Structure 1
Amino acid sequence: MRTTTKVLAMGGAVLAAVTVTGPARAGGVPEADLAFHGSAVMEGDRVEVQLTPSNHGPSAVPEADVRLRWSVPLADRQILPVGCVRTGEREVVCGTGPLPADGPGQRIDLGLMLRDRPQEVRLEIATVWSGGMVDRDRTNDQVRVLVLDTGDAYSF
């Protein structure tokens, strides 16, 4: 069994300090397969995103970070849920919390204001840190979705 520690700091603030333990795989690093599913709705200058992270295993992940990047700037002021931080004009990074092997994590709910009132936005979702795990299948943890200003939910 291998143990590693990961500390993620942004702007001088520590976001996570996590100890990773799990079965060692080839090369001595545990493996996990992260995926993201959910929906996004846009009405006017507001976007609502519901995102459920999951892990297809084989190792549990004590914490991971997911980046949500929009094609348009976000409004200057945002109210973000605990575990999320704004990292740029168009980006937010959220911690997933623990992800069991072969199971879903806690849903992340974001309600964000856009700087303007575009007719559409492109939302890109991607893992930026996988808790020290190797994820050999990156096809399901990198998502792109076009969200139109219709009030309809666009699933991913």
Structure 2
Amino acid sequence: MRRYGLAAVGAVAAGALVLGTGGTAWAGEADLEVHGSAVLDGGLMEVRLSPRDHGPDALAGASVRLRWSAALADAQQLPAGCARTGDREVVCGTGPLAVDEPGEQLVVPVRLRERPSEVTLSVDVAWSGGVVDHDRTNDTQRVLVLATGDPYVF
């Protein structure tokens, strides 16, 4: 059985908890979205992600989940803040997100187990520190990436 560092997933993201009126704990409201691009060349795929928070509250951090339709190679060199959570899945922390400012771009290179001619990539907000997101329509992106070496934007 493979182990993908599930304990590290909890460390990938951090959220801000604030006190509302009457001492009630809440994490605020935010509208999170992630856009980016993906390039597939042979068995290598590079994903560039740009997280954004449309507010009304800023976030100390969130997590995005990347899922591939093809299995990842066993050995990966993921960037800091990312953890492998399955055979085809990686979770990455966004870092702090100010309202209506682009977050720090994440660059996630992965090696696929095979050399497919195409891969479907799904990117979704996996954790947002308990904030309420009233617009969940922009939380998930999905793109078909052909092994052409060209960037496919989502």
Shared fold (TM-score, shorter chain, > 0.5): yes
Q: Which has the higher strand share?
A: 1
Query: How big is the alpha-carbon RMSD for the aligned residues of Structure 1 and Structure 2?
Result: 2.1
- Equivalent-residue separation in structure 1 for 2:15 and 2:6 (angstroms): 22
Distance 1:144 1:23, change over 3 A: farther
Q: From the superposition, tell whether residues 21 and 145 of structure 1 become closer, same or farther in structure 2 (CA, over 3 Å).
A: same
Match in the other structure for 2:16 = 20
CA 1:12–1:132 in 2, change beyond 3 Å: closer, same or farther?
same
**2:147 aligned with 1:152:** no
**Fraction of identical pairs, as percent:** 54
Offset from partner CA, 1:23-69 (integer Å, 9 cap, x none): 859x9551100011110000110001110100000000101010000
- Cα deviation, 1:55-93, whole Å, max 9, x if unaligned, reads 000000101010000001000000000000000000000
For 2:110 and 2:13, the matched residues in 1 are separated by: 27
Partner of 1:101: 99
Unaligned 5+ runs, structure 1: 1-9
Verify the 8 A CA contact 2:49 2:106 in the aligned structure 1: yes
2:115 maps to amino acid: R
User: Match for residue 81 of structure 1?
Assistant: 79
AA of the residue aligned to 2:151: A
For 2:15 and 2:68, locate their aligned partners in 1 and report how far apart those are by CA, in whole Å. Answer: 31
Q: CA deviation at 1:12?
A: 3.7
Counterparts of 1:1-156 in structure 2, within 5 Å, are 11-13=6-8, 14-16=10-12, 18=14, 20-21=16-17, 24=20, 29-156=27-154
CA contact (8 A) 2:15 2:130 kept: no
- Residue 101 of structure 1 deviates from its aligned partner by 1.2
Give the counterpart letter for 1:11 in structure 2.
L
Structure with the larger RCO, 1 or 2 (CA within 8 Å, 6+ apart): 2
For 2:70, what is the secondary structure of its paired residue?
coil
TM-score, normalised relative to structure 1 = 0.86
Which secondary structure does the structure 1 equivalent of 2:142 belong to?
A: strand
Confirm or deny: 8 A CA contact 1:23 1:30 kept in the other structure: no
